[in-house]
A and B are shown apart, each in its own frame.
Chain A
Amino acid sequence: MTSALSFTLQQLTDAPSASGIVRRGTLQFSKKAKTIQTPACLTYTVRGSVPHLVAENVKLLPVQLLQVTLEQFVEEKEPMSFKYPHGIHKYLNLELDHLVFCDMRDPMKQEAVTFNTDKYLSVSTHGGVRQITPEMWAQAMKAYNPDMCALMADIVTDNDAKLKRIKRSVDRSLRWLDDILPKAKEIGIPVFAPVVGHTSEEERARSAVSTAERDVDGFTVNVIGLGLGNEATLKLAKASLRNLPKNKPRIVYGFGTPEGILDAVASGADLFDGSYAYKVTEQGRAMIFKFGEISADNTARDKPKTVNLWDPSMSHSFEVLDSTCGCYACNASHTKAYIHHLLNAHEMLGPILLMSHNVYQLDNFMASIRKSIDDNRFESDLTRFMEYYNHVEEGDGMRNHQDEIDVESLGTPLKKKRTLLL
């Protein structure tokens, strides 16, 4: 581990439990004297900004560690952000104490692009397909100077990939790792190595074991868009996670829902992408679920986790989204009726208020999980959560988070008629 980043596990419950191995840790950034408590969500950004929110809005939110996606900056032949002399934090106008994690591809949706080769990783930009080479990677990280970064990963995006392709992706990612790691050490930024393996448990194990042999600071595990059910996806994630060293942090992509996050926490994940907050916002919904606050004698069941602000019944509702919430929208007492009106009138303030609320709530959710682990009640809180809330259908009939996964989307705002009309 570099001196800039250290990870401490505060609690290791090795005792066999129904759900697995739950981890509670702290990520220390010595250069900035900042600490991130885990499990936590990285704040999701598109082209470096929290969707819909400008710095003044973000300042009011508990944002600490943001995920910046390199592929969203490399449309130009010579990306201008590489030439900016003051680093990515200043370029994106982040607060002094915000931390940045830079990875290659959008963690919300991995759009299939053309093939990768040993020499480059193909990525998708607003102007078409581009290539990220190890040289470009180094150039970017040197210019950006993020607080932590991920290495290039050969992620298979073809759901029908054969084993041969999967094996190649493991080998190629390792070759890239070995090629880039010295450059990364030179630049001095903590690196997270990708653990790949697609739909093969064996290859995932192999990738994890081999990657763990290298001197890296953490790992990313990717289970996005595999097209399998929750159980099968979790099984694959576990195949990666259980073969990784306990003392290093693990970021997992692809568990975008509250249930998914809880499953992954119970399987040994430390960090997640925060794209769920964005997905919920784009549906015009607000998160209202809580973790760890449901008492044992509460017999209510099938409660909805989100509120649909598009619902006509909202037009007469003059309460805030959540009276216990500290986001800008709730603090300023913006009503459901007003937010409903904004969505209905295609006004941009609607998504701004919802995004503020959902980022806050997602952070709150993670904080509750941490508290629950600290207080040794994670197992029981998890059971209560699964009993209390409906996990298949939302109050207005949305099933299985179905419209939360838009196959056409690429991390750019979903172009649905009802969302934004400028």
Chain B
Amino acid sequence: MKSALTFETYARCSTTKGRASILTLPHGPVNTPVFMPVGTQGTLKGMTPQQVKDMNCQIMLNNTYHLGLKPGQEILDEAGGSHAFQKWNGNLLTDSGGFQMVSLLKLAEITEEGVQFASPHDGSLMMLTPEHSMSLQNSIGADIMMQLDDVISSLTTGPRVEEAMWRSVRWLDRCIASHKRQDDQNLFAIIQGGLDPELRKKCVDEMVKRNTPGYAVGGLSGGEEKDQFWRIVSLCTDLLPKNKPIYCMGVGYAEDLVVCTALGVDMFDCVFPTRTARFGNALTMKGTVALKSGKHSSNFGPIEEGCDCSTCKNYTRSYIQLLVTTKDTVGCHLVSIHNVAFQLRLMREMQEAIKRDEFPAWIKQFFAGYFGDQSKYPVWAVNALQSVGVDLTA
């Protein structure tokens, strides 16, 4: 199918599978590996589009299911798409609504035709088919759209897993057939197959035949054993075409981003940094700082020394602590800004380390700083990195 993007890898890590590239989309270039913050309902919670731009964020997510409910397709069409509606001139990526099948499972009924949801707001029924998802995503106008896939919980076992995988392939075909804006919107396929390597292989085989502009690894990041998670990710990055971006959906925590980058992933998204910010938790290279804790009230330093975000340059932990304990929205905003800046900084450091071909050394110092003691390193991460030639224990 047509592609409205270019993907150029300019540096490859000589040890791991990590690579640094430039993904050029209709709304501008994106440096990968990239973390995409999630602005579900057409806004990155608590930040103006100008603030998001000032942080050098090049791409963010909107959610099709939620925008389809509020404000709805009619308004989005009237507004001229989500970019115009929210006044964001950077890139957008929309999820198909598939994930809500898992997260809102109590409200969803899945058939070959599509997914029928009962709205959490008023109980009204909405049928999400591949065609409807494409139509909604065409109205939203994101630079990257995701196919509607049959998403199952990563903890599911049995024949349902294979059923979901084949259905996702069939739904991909339906998505491709009904995608009306191939000139300026890139459709990504989503590899399913649960935690079964054979199913994943079959899925990759089939979906690669459809030649979409990019591929995502889906159906993970749902509570499965991390040791299984990384093996599936690594399998997919081995099998997928190297000249196209690979997106691991729903990832994640800092250590996940580092490991998956080493395994060859280019794109990530996760609600975690913005969500945890609203609970008063700040992410730093030395781990999480729970700002609600009273012990920060006497700390007149920034959340993270050396961080150049507007929160750290201007505010003390002491004042932020006062704001987050009293649930002031300003406190939320300050921590959200920092957390998004942190995620972007993390990715930038990885891009630069790969460019200098010093990625393994960077990984080691990251883990040392983030976890402190080697005994605290997650075993799965040690295993995963081992598989690509990085020995964290050395």
Q: Which residues of A approach B to under 8 Å, CB–CB?
A: 46-57, 73, 76, 80-81, 83-85, 91-93, 126, 315-316, 318, 328, 332-335, 337-338, 340-342, 344-345, 347-349, 351-353, 412-413, 420, 422
What residues of A have a CB within 8 angstroms of the CB of B315 in the complex? 55, 93
Indicate if B332 sits at the interface (CB-CB under 8 A). yes
With a cutoff of 8 Å between Cβ atoms, the chain B residues found around residue A338 in the complex are 42, 79, 85-87
Given contacts A347-B43, A351-B329, A422-B327, contact A80 B318 (CB under 8 A): yes
Docked-complex contact A73 and B322, CB < 8 angstroms: yes
Residues of the B chain whose Cβ atoms lie less than 8 Å from the Cβ of A56: 51, 54, 310
B387 on the A face (CB < 8 A): no
Which of B75, B87, B297, B337 makes the CB contact (< 8 A) with A54?
B337
Q: Which residues of chain B from 269 to 317 have any CB-CB distance to chain A below 8 Å in the complex? A: 278, 297-298, 300, 310-311, 314-316
Distance from A69 Cβ to chain B, minimum over Cβ atoms (Å): 13
Contacts of A353 in B (CB 8 A): 48
Q: Nearest Cβ in chain B — how far from A244, in angstroms?
A: 35
Given contacts A85-B300, A93-B319, A328-B50, 12 further A-B contacts (CB under 8 A): A47-B323, A47-B330, A51-B329, A57-B48, A83-B298, A332-B48, A333-B87, A337-B78, A338-B42, A345-B41, A349-B48, A422-B327
Among A53, A337, A351, contact of B79 (Cβ-Cβ < 8 Å): A337
Chain A residues with Cβ below 8 Å from B41 are 341-342, 345, 347
Q: Smallest CB-CB separation from A92: which chain B residue?
A: B319
Evaluate contact between B79 and A335: CB separation under 8 angstroms: yes
Task: Name the distance in Å between B178's Cβ and chain A's nearest Cβ.
Answer: 26
When distances are taken between beta carbons in the complex, the residues of chain B under 8 Å from A413 are 327-329
Asked if residues A80 and B298 are in contact (CB atoms below 8 Å), the reply is yes
Known: A73-B322, A84-B300, A92-B319. A337 touches B85 (CB 8 A): yes
Query: How many Å lie between the Cα of A304 and that of B47 in the bound state?
Result: 30
The answer to whether B328 touches A47, judged by C-beta atoms less than 8 angstroms apart, is: yes
Beta-carbon contact of A48 and B319 below 8 Å: yes
| Known interface pairs A80-B298, A91-B316; A422-B332 also in contact (CB < 8 Å) | yes
Alpha-carbon distance A126/B328, docked complex (angstroms): 11
Cβ of B200 < 8 Å from any Cβ of A? no
- Taking CB atoms, residues of chain B closer than 8 Å to A316 are 75, 78
Question: Which 4 A-B pairs give the minimum distances between C-beta atoms?
Answer: A348-B46, A49-B330, A93-B314, A349-B43
Known A-B contacts A47-B326, A315-B75, A337-B79; A349 and B45 likewise in contact (beta carbons under 8 Å) = yes
- Chain A residues contacting B333 (CB-CB under 8 Å) are 52, 54, 348, 352
Q: How far is the CA of A315 from the CA of B78 in the complex (A)?
A: 10
Interface string of B54-65 (1 = CB under 8 A from A): 100000000000
Q: Is the interface of B mostly helix, strand, loop or mixed?
A: helix
Q: At the interface, yes or no: B71 with Cβ under 8 Å from chain A?
A: yes
Does residue B70 face the partner (Cβ distance < 8 Å to A)? Answer: yes
Residues in A with CB closer than 8 Å to B311 are 54
Q: Which of A46, A48, A51, A422 is B278 in contact with, Cβ under 8 Å?
A: A422
Shortest C-beta distance, A327 to chain B (Å), equals: 11
Q: Which of B61-105 contact A (CB under 8 A)?
A: 66, 70-71, 75, 78-79, 85-87
Chain A minimum-CB-distance residue to B319:
A91
> Is B334 close to A, CB under 8 A?
yes
Given A49-B328, A420-B329, check contact A341 B42 (CB 8 Å). yes
Q: Which residues of B contact A332 (CB under 8 A)?
A: 48-50, 87
15 residue pairs of the A-B complex, CB under 8 angstroms, read A52-B329, A54-B310, A54-B333, A80-B297, A91-B319, A316-B75, A332-B48, A337-B78, A338-B42, A338-B87, A347-B43, A348-B43, A349-B45, A352-B46, A422-B278
Query: B330 and A52: CB pair below 8 A?
Result: yes
Query: In the bound complex, do residue B318 and residue A84 qualify as a contact, i.e. CB atoms below 8 Å apart?
Result: yes
A12 to chain B minimum Cβ distance, whole angstroms, is 41
Q: Tell me the bound Cα distance from A235 to B322 in angstroms.
A: 40
In the assembled complex, the CB of B190 is this many whole angstroms from the nearest CB of chain A, namely 26
Among B43, B45, B70, B330, point to the contact of A51 (Cβ < 8 A).
Answer: B330
Residues from chain A with Cβ under 8 Å of B75 in the complex? 315-316, 337, 341
The listed residue (B71, B79, B332) touching A348 by CB distance below 8 A is: B332
Q: Within the assembled complex, what's the spacing in Å between the Cα atoms of A195 and B66? A: 54
A328 touches B48 (CB 8 A): yes
Most buried by B among A91, A342, A345, A420: A345
In whole angstroms, what is the CA distance A340 to B72 when docked?
A: 13
Q: Which residue of A lies closest to B298 (CB)?
A: A80
Residue among B42, B48, B297, B300 facing the most chain A CB atoms (10 A cut-off): B48
B16-31: CB near A (< 8 Å → 1, else 0) gives 0000000000000000
Query: A413 vs B337: C-alpha distance in the bound complex, in angstroms?
Result: 21
- Residues of B close to A344: CB separation below 8 A: 70-71
- Asked whether B71 lies within 8 Å of A341 as measured between CB atoms, the reply is yes
Q: Which residues of the partner chain B approach A352 to less than 8 Å between Cβ atoms? A: 46, 48, 333
Output the least CB separation between A128 and chain B (Å).
13
CB proximity of A209 to chain B, nearest CB, Å:
40
